[in-house]
A = this chain, B = another copy of it.
Amino acid sequence: MKRPTGKPAKGRQRRARRATSVDVARLAGVSQSAVSRCFTPGASISEKTRSKILAAAQRLDYAPNAIARTLISGRSRIVGVVLPNITNLFYPEVLHELSLRLQAAGLRVLLFNVPYGQQIDDVMPDVLQYQVDGIITSARCSAAVGADCRRRGVPIVFYNREFPELPGSSVKCNQVAGAARLADLLIDAGHRRIGLIAGPDNSPTAHDRERGFVQRLRARGVDLCARAGGDFLYDIARAAARSMLGQPRRPDALFCANDTMAFGAMDAARHDVGLAVPDDVSIVGFDDSGPSRWRGYDLTTVRQPLEAMTAAAVELLVQSFGQPGMPAARRLIDGELVVRSSARVAPPASD
């Protein structure tokens, strides 16, 4: 089955044939392995050979084929990033940070979107087929996935999720502590009728925030006076706030489990119910997303320290490349209370 000389390698090729290391070797008058070494940092090669090879490579417009390299070396330098729903105001920033840092570490981002309602399990086979060196995920995850990764030796880092029973490190913002600080802030300001607009039932993050808030309230002898679900969405939260604040004995402070809902609540207060913020009602959120700095909202909230979280995630992942059997590390990073004007900070003067 020798192919007739001169014919371009098989009939298959669909793209312009790129120069290979063999071509470069031939032109430079060296062996193919020399070319390989030339493009491998730290390989032993003389300066003379190197420059000959580089010249030939340049002439042929050669660049190493990362796919072939992956196949033989078993390392792809690709990280699978699996996110639940990029549309959420929070994830774009995460992804931005993540891709910059991974790029800086010489790693590539293979992005996977888990459509609403599905979990990571559904995309996992695809991720694994591309021989990713590691995975960073913020999606829901089952034990099967953990087992998969372990079996394959693919390290996984959970971002703002935690699965103590799964092998894999995690990085989390301390939602509980952050929410507690907001509870303190409201109570210190003299609020006693405090309502809560919660996130989706299936979001651990939302749960943590609610738990942290309510626990601290209890610890200081205050009970929630109203609660509604807002699903992390503006419209739902606005409707919830509208009806909550429309009551005769309405709350005078509102904790929303994320910023987007807080914006909805503020708009409900001002435009639907006709209350002033913070004079009639204090409103606080969680995330410190872009619009919270805007003058129209100026939201008191807790900043998730994205840079630190992302740096930690990448760091943990890169570390685990070194030692395969690395024990799972858990990093809990405190959020920063950002006090703006949407909540009063002291009890009203005359009361």
Interface of A toward B, CB cutoff 8 Å: 12-16, 18, 61, 63-68, 70-71, 73-76, 78, 81, 85-87, 89, 91-93, 95-96, 99-100, 103, 108-113, 115, 123, 125-126, 128-131, 151-154, 234, 238, 263-264, 266-268, 270-272, 290-291, 293-297, 324
Contact = CB atoms under 8 A, between A and B. Distances in A.
A260 to B, nearest CB: 8
A76 B74 CA distance: 17
The 7 nearest A-B residue pairs measured at CB: A92-B92, A15-B153, A267-B295, A86-B96, A66-B129, A16-B153, A109-B111
A154 B87 contact: no
Number of this chain's copies in the complex: 2
Contacts of A115: 100
Given A86-B92, A128-B63, A129-B64, A74 B113 contact: no
A217 B149 CA distance: 60
B73 A12 contact: yes
A151 B113 contact: no
B108 A130 contact: yes
Given A16-B151, A111-B99, A271 B295 contact: yes
A234 B71 contact: no
Contact of A110 (B12, B63, B108): B108
5 contacts: A81-B111, A86-B95, A95-B111, A100-B115, A271-B296
A266 B16 CA distance: 53
B73 A99 contact: no
B71 A67 contact: yes
Contacts of A271: 295-296
Instruction: Tell me which of A13, A87, A128, A295 has the highest count of chain B C-beta atoms within 10 A of its own C-beta.
Output: A295
A154 B18 CA distance: 11
A234 B294 contact: yes
Given A15-B74, A67-B70, A108-B130, 19 more contacts: A13-B74, A15-B152, A15-B153, A16-B153, A63-B128, A65-B71, A66-B131, A87-B93, A89-B290, A92-B92, A92-B95, A99-B112, A100-B115, A103-B112, A108-B111, A110-B110, A234-B294, A263-B294, A264-B294
A258 to B, nearest CB: 13
Contact of A15 (B64, B92, B324): B324
A128 to B, nearest CB: 7
B113 A110 contact: no
A154 B85 CA distance: 29
B103 A96 contact: no
A265 to B, nearest CB: 11
